[in-house]
Amino acid sequence: MKIVRLGLTASIIFLFLLFSFMSTEAAEDITASGSAGTNAASDSQPQTGGASFSSPPQPSIPTGYPGFGQLIALILTWAFRIVGISVFLMVFIAGLQWFMAGSNPGAYDQARKRVTNAATGAVFLFAAYVILYTINPDLVKGTFSLPGIGF
């Protein structure tokens, strides 16, 4: 029973982290576009029409590569998202498996191992974050640079 609680707690923590990353990026997108706080009713003239179809926007070509620190931060962000979703799914599947096991001890043990493995993977990823943050907090913020090497 403690393993299930541990798995549920870990999945809740990682879902929280997942949604906090998503909400942070959405807030940055809104503030960057400047659409937050605009009020069409305060304008003196109503807006008519939309974007012009005579000159469609052309796709832009990326101008540069992300730096080393940005790459590590990007990998960590996506790893947290993927692990959060996978921990949630593994605990959910293990709960269904546990529920369906009835009096079958083999299925019960398999479900328990699945929860343990999901929690262990989540702990490993969190430990990687803590280790990188302990070495240099700039690594997880995306501001790390190596000036002597040219990164």
DSSP string, 45-111: S-----S-SSSPPPPPPP-SPPPHHHHHHHHHHHHHHHHHHHHHHHHHHHHHHHHHHTT-HHHHHHH
Element (H, E) at 149: none
Element (H, E) at 8: helix 2-33
Q: What is the rounded average pLDDT for all residues in the chain?
A: 74
Q: Which residues contact 98 (CB under 8 A, 6 or more apart)?
A: 4, 107, 108, 111, 112
Query: Model confidence over 93-107: pLDDT tens digits?
Result: 998 988 888 888 898
Q: Which is nearest to 117 in space by CA: 133, 137, 97, 103?
A: 97
Domain ranges for the chain, please list them.
Answer: 68-144
Please give the structure tokens belonging to residue 51. 């974007």
What is the band of 138 on the pLDDT scale with cuts at 50, 70, 90?
A: confident
Q: Which residues contact 133 (CB under 8 A, 6 or more apart)?
A: 139, 140
Q: Which residues contact 88 (CB under 8 A, 6 or more apart)?
A: 11, 14, 15
CB half-sphere exposure, 33, CA atoms < 13 A: 9
Residue 109: per-residue pLDDT: 92
Has residue 147 got a pLDDT over 50? yes
Q: Are the beta carbons of 81 and 23 closer than 8 angstroms?
A: no
Query: Model confidence over 14-71: pLDDT tens digits?
Result: 767 666 665 555 555 555 555 444 544 555 676 666 666 777 777 776 666 667 777 7
